[in-house]
Amino acid sequence: CELDQDTAAMAVRNLDRYLSLSSCSILECRKAFQVASMTLLYTTVKVVESDLVSPDSLANLSRGVCTASDIVDLEAKILKEVNWHIYPPTALAFVRLMIEAFGDALPKEVKDSALQQAFDSIHEYELVPFPSSIVAMAAMGNSLDENSTNLDSLQIWTSLLQTMEGVSCEDFIHVRQVLWKVRLSKITCADDTATEPSDKAVCLSPSSSMVDLSNKPTLSFCLTIGSQDDLSSGYDTLSSCESVVFPETSETSETHIHIICSENMTECVLEQIPQHHSAQSPTCVMAESSHSEMKN
């Protein structure tokens, strides 16, 4: 039978939660890990899908790795270990709730990209410690940056950020960067002949941690600044670019700083965007980068 993406995402989430238990030692045995994976897929299908999969069917798919009784016995053990908490919210589920909440305000390409990034997150072990809601917010933010520049999308992104009470800014930025790394790797694989730098932007804040750009020659970052005080803190971001001059800003405008890093040069595009008006022509500054790490 065909399973929904949410089923796969939830099965992986349940597997991660089970593996994180101190009493779990199945990582020491390849066969035990495979049986646990099959078992949690079986359990998740029973919870989510309308068409059930029998233990015998999964045992046949395992090609002799496990039997139907192995799956049933381990399921009972896992359910006890996780205290029957087998319906965790996933990043995909959170993204779908966001899409439903914003309705027609989100273009189709924004929805599709956010859903894809949320699904891709289940393959990234680095994201396991982060709550699904943060992964979903990061996926939606990346998608808005990638696919839309109108004021409606900016308002949506602002409203999303306002819901992030108690969330570490550094954690949020880190999740966005991981998702962008996966996204850019897929773009690269889809077009191995591409020679132009990527124009995808990763939104960072002035308080983010050190960013190593040495192995990301085509990655572009966007720093959005809304006040003169924030703009002053942006000097640290471009500390290696001596010829960059920050423009004056006012309460009625904000400045977007796009940083596109190549092997030896850093291109900085400074863009003034007045409120309730379309963006003015950006100012482009080229400066030689003296090192491969830049601090926001």
Describe the crossing of helices 108-120 and 91-102 by its angle, rounded to 10 degrees: 170
Query: Best-predicted range by mean pLDDT among 112-116, 194-198, 275-279, 289-293?
Result: 112-116
pLDDT computed for residue 148 by the predictor: 63
**DSSP label at residue 205:** -
pLDDT average, residue stretch 214-237: 36
pLDDT average, residue stretch 14-39: 83
DSSP line for 98-160:
HHHHHGGGS-HHHHHHHHHHHHHGGG-GGGTTS-HHHHHHHHHHHHHHHH--SHHHHHHHHHH
Q: With cut-offs at 50, 70 and 90, classify the pLDDT of residue 117.
A: very high
Paired strand residues for 99: none
Paired strand residues for 32: none
pLDDT in tens, 43-73: 988 888 878 888 898 888 888 888 999 999 9
Given a cut of 80, is residue 207 above it in pLDDT?
Answer: no
pLDDT in tens, 83-99: 888 887 888 889 998 88
pLDDT computed for residue 271 by the predictor: 39
Specify the DSSP element, H or E, that contains 224: strand 220-225
Q: Decide if 5-81 and 89-194 have a common fold.
A: yes
What would you report as the CA-atom Rg of the chain, rounded to the nearest whole angstrom? 23
If one looks up domain 5-81 in CATH, what number appears?
1.10.472.10
**Class of 89-194 per CATH?**
mainly alpha
pLDDT computed for residue 218 by the predictor: 32
Q: Where are the domains of the chain?
A: 5-81, 89-194, 196-296
pLDDT average, residue stretch 264-284: 37
